[in-house]
Amino acid sequence: MREGAGSNSVLVSLMLVLLVSWLGLDAVSVAANRIVPGEGIGLGGVAGWPGILLSVAPMLGVLWLAWRPSPGRLRVALLLVMAMLAALPVWLVVAAALTVDPALPQSRLSIGPAVWLALFMLLLSRIELRGRIRVPRWQGALLDLLPLLSLGLCLLTALEPLALRQEYLAREPAFIAAIGEHLLLVSVAVLVSLSLGVGLAMAMRRWPSAQRFGFTLLNFLQTIPSLALFGLLLAPLAWLSNRFEWIDALGVSGIGWAPALLALVAYSLLPMVRNTYVALEEVDPGVIDAARGMGMSRAQIFRQVRLPLGLPVLLEGIRITTVQAIGLTAVAALIGAGGLGRFIFQGLGQAAMDLVLLGALPILIMALLADALLGALTERLRPGGLR
Amino acid sequence: MNHTASTATRSSPCANGSAARRWLAPLAWLLLLTYACWGMPWLEPLFRLVEPDSRDVIYARADFFLLLGRHMLVVGVAALLAIGIGVAAAIAVTRPAGRDFLPMVSQLASMGQTFPPVAVLALAVPVLGFGTLPVIVALLLYGLLPIVRNTLAGLEGIDGGVAEAARGMGMTGGQRLLRVELPLAAPIILAGIRTSVTINIATAAIGSTVGASNLGDPIISGIVNGNIAYVLQGALLIGLLALSVDSLFARLQPASPQ
């Protein structure tokens, strides 16, 4: 951005941090079994000088390319960064082969801070580079696919000692069930709050006096911390299910999916109602006027003008709600609602960090995926040139 | 837990009215919170209703004031650090010298909002271990994002003409920042801080599962032991704390158009 052909300071600093952390922090940690704490091993301890030289070379390469950048050089740097990302799983395979004693089938390998930080720094470098240079869409997709393919291949063929994988294998059916529960809770909550939210927003448009009260109430709900709301719902639901048999027969009780769903819907309502309201309200009056001038009826204006124009804003509400609900459902595991949060809290209880990862990583990936997919859908539906 | 409150505004119940009336809501919530901490034992008959069979219905493992104090301490330390680092970082990347970092930082700040706070908290534990420190670090990291994003939005949203006028008056870069840019961006920055603190109060409560003792303790202990009365006490106090802090922010924040 600065004048002249100065170095790309962002990439240079990212690479410096990467180099220092890669050389200074533990690459992996190895434990003889699940119970004993792992022993951290640095890069030199895993692969010696050949490993150091081989792994540092591409980093220095990117550093050199970023020092005197040009579009061509940055393209090469991007290639190198993606190659390094793809090499991270391979590195774990190598580390597993070199450090884990095959005579001890119980021993397990945990990913060290150096690898996590490298992943983070390389992803940041990717963001930076993709922002600087134009890459054709298919080439970009191909480059992004590379690390994912490498990870998949390594997980399928090697990496038996990886603790994360062992935790997964030990509870594969439970894991798949947990993902199902998580997705089910999130989607039901989003659907319920969508229909409720659209209804509420329409009601607020019709009766403006209710609008202020409605938003105040929803803001109030949104302020209450999730754990507290889950807790507060416990008592009345437990009481209801004790009191009325048919509620109990429905499976509603103080703990479980019922309070979780109620709380999720309560939290989802504010972004949903607000965005629906904005979507309906903030269509340019001139456009409505023009539509009326063309002889459209109220219903036609709603269907053909307001809805298409408001749809991106509505979808934005769905996106916020979904991402938020994915995170909140993790907390709901504390009140027995199941889902991936169960592994997090189980792992925290047993001080089994890889079990925590088994719960937290999919939640993170789900949130990022939901965000990206719904964001792309919003972009696609946005009418060109109108907003 | 509101990810968007930073940009969209909240309609605050005390936006207008006389000065005394505007302090009424935060004061009322704070009084209620203090009273609830202090007078919880007197509510025993009430809690006996929901938990008739338990021996103890009032959480007694720690004083409620102590738990409240720890909760506020963790959130406060994390918030102060996050404000200091976040605002400084946002200022740094909007100056000419740091502008190269702007695209990456702003993309990171908006992408990071997608991360569920619980996941951040859970991922901090393997790195930092159990206790209060990982909770503070997780809260700090997560709390940074809304503050950075809103400070960036505030500083970048300033009308170019205003900055030009300040330059024309002969103000130096530092003067422009302190007297023009930051005051103009203040409401948006404050909204970011409010979002950050609101999320952190909630996340800190979950932090009691990783060994940080605070108001989440009664809830967790109640869930583990099947004592709904404990859960209610913790939930009540956390809810009151969140409402007190939020209404305080609503008071500080000038009413902005919906």
Contacts of A326 in chain B (CB under 8 A): 116
Q: What is the pLDDT of residue B18?
A: 60
Q: Domain spans of chain B?
A: 62-252
In CATH terms, the fold of domain B62-252 is: MetI-like fold (1.10.3720)
What are B151-186's pLDDT values in tens digits? Answer: 999 998 888 888 888 888 888 888 888 888 898 899
Give the residue among A267, A269, A270, A234 at the shortest CA–CA distance from A253: A234
Do the chains contact at A360 and B119, CB–CB below 8 Å? yes
Nearest-Cα distance to chain B for A358, in Å, is 10
Per-residue pLDDT 10s for chain A (387 aa) are: 444 457 888 889 999 999 999 888 888 888 877 767 777 887 877 778 888 888 889 999 999 988 888 888 888 999 999 999 999 888 888 888 888 777 777 778 888 888 889 999 999 999 888 888 888 888 888 888 888 998 888 888 777 778 888 888 888 889 999 999 999 999 999 999 999 998 888 888 888 888 888 888 888 888 888 888 888 887 777 777 777 777 777 666 667 788 888 889 988 888 888 888 888 777 778 888 888 888 888 888 878 887 788 888 888 889 989 999 999 999 888 888 888 999 998 888 887 888 888 899 999 999 999 998 998 888 887 765 444
What are B197-233's pLDDT values in tens digits? Answer: 988 998 898 888 887 888 888 888 888 887 888 888 8
Quote the CA–CA distance of B82 and B149 in Å, as a whole number. Answer: 12
Do the chains contact at B116 and A327, CB–CB below 8 Å? yes
Do the chains contact at A323 and B114, CB–CB below 8 Å? yes
Contacts of B219 in chain A (CB under 8 A): 227-228, 231
Q: Is B206 on the interface with A (CB under 8 A)?
A: yes
Give the residue among B113, B76, B67 at the shortest CA–CA distance from B200: B76
What are B101-119's pLDDT values in tens digits? Answer: 888 888 888 888 888 888 8
Residues 115-174 of B with CB under 8 A from A: 115-119, 122-123, 125-127, 130
What domains appear along chain A, each with residue ranges and CATH number? 9-163 (no CATH), 172-381 (1.10.3720.10)
Q: What is the pLDDT of residue B114?
A: 85
Among candidates A131, A222, A353 on the partner chain, residue whose Cβ is nearest the Cβ of B103: A131
Nearest CA in chain B to A112: B127
Query: What mean pLDDT is reported for chain B?
Result: 82
Q: What is the pLDDT of residue A3?
A: 41
What are B10-33's pLDDT values in tens digits? Answer: 444 444 456 667 788 888 888 888
Among candidates A215, A228, A348 on the partner chain, residue whose Cβ is nearest the Cβ of B239: A228
Nearest-Cα distance to chain B for A379, in Å, is 16
Contact B92, B148 (CB under 8 A): no
Q: What is the pLDDT of residue A190?
A: 94
pLDDT at B7 over 70: no
